[in-house]
Amino acid sequence: MRIAELVKQSGVSRTTIHYYQRLGLLPKAEKKSKNSAIYDQKHLDRLKLITRLRSEAGGAYTMDHIQAIITQLDSGSEKALTEVLSGQRSDKASTLNPGELSSRSGLPQDIINRLIRENVIRFRPGDSLYDERDVAALDAISSLLEMGIELESVIPIARVVEKLAAFEIDQYKKVRDTLTPSQRRAYLLNLQQSTDALHEYLFNRIRQHLLQRG
């Protein structure tokens, strides 16, 4: 399956899938061409496992714990895996300060501070620190910077994505009261996947046009 189908079946975003691959949590896809990669059932099963571990006991497993679990799982050591599962639980989800965000993402502290000042990376209501969601966002930003896109351009990109997300939520609010709790979750997931698919289509159409022009 292509990544769009993997996103649809797993409920995990494309950015997070690439983030897991860079962490070594998810095997690399089979490359069919420079711009085409194929995923299979083992990728889907692994994503389901990671998702389950991240939601276990309200986020009791941190990403470090999950990496240890995946390492033991890949080694085939059931005894070691049992020890990890029984001993590497935290009372709450891992939280990070701005300095730890820098060490986890590999981005310089001045860039982290700038993104915080620009409200690209932000506190959530009730939170006093940052967490793995912020690391995943910084990983995506790091990829853009590595591609040669300047920070002054990355910030407007984040603004556009934020506006799209806000528009999607506005559409959800229009029908929220007509949906059951389970329907609400499914609606939000389908909304995100549909807009992701539309973005991929439009991006590829523009890319093809540019390549044809040379």
Domain end among 94, 125, 141: 94
More confident residue, 117 or 75: 117
For residues 180 and 143, the answer to whether their CB atoms sit within 8 Å is no
Residue 135: per-residue pLDDT:
82
Confidence grade of residue 92 (pLDDT, cut at 50, 70, 90): very low
Confidence grade of residue 77 (pLDDT, cut at 50, 70, 90): low
User: Which CATH number covers residue 82?
Assistant: 1.10.1660.10
> At residue 211, does pLDDT exceed 70?
yes
Alpha-carbon span 89 to 61, nearest angstrom = 6
User: 30 forms bridges with which residues in the sheet?
Assistant: 38
Confidence grade of residue 121 (pLDDT, cut at 50, 70, 90): confident
pTM of the predicted protein model: 0.58
Q: Are residues 86 and 115 in the same domain?
A: no
Residue 156: per-residue pLDDT:
95
Q: Are residues 5 and 66 in the same domain?
A: yes
Q: Mean pLDDT, to the nearest integer, of 146-160?
A: 93
Minimum mean pLDDT range among 10-14, 79-83, 103-107, 170-174: 79-83
Q: Mean pLDDT, to the nearest integer, of 124-133?
A: 66
DSSP string, 85-98: HHH---SS---B-H
Q: Are residues 12 and 64 in the same domain?
A: yes
More confident residue, 81 or 206: 206
Q: Mean pLDDT, to the nearest integer, of 147-168?
A: 92
Q: Mean pLDDT, to the nearest integer, of 33-38?
A: 76
Residue 154: per-residue pLDDT:
94
Number of structural domains (the chain) is 3
Q: Mean pLDDT, to the nearest integer, of 132-151?
A: 86
Domain coverage including residue 192: 157-214
Q: Are residues 49 and 19 in the same domain?
A: yes
Residue 98: per-residue pLDDT:
80
Q: Are residues 1 and 60 in the same domain?
A: yes
Per the prediction, the chain carries an average pLDDT of 80
Q: Are residues 88 and 118 in the same domain?
A: no
Residue 176: per-residue pLDDT:
92
More confident residue, 90 or 31: 31
Residue 192: per-residue pLDDT:
80
Residue 167: per-residue pLDDT:
92
Percent of the chain with pLDDT over 70: 82
Cα distances (Å, whole numbers) of residue 20 to 30, 101, 185, 206, 213? 16, 17, 23, 28, 35
Q: Are residues 106 and 30 in the same domain?
A: no
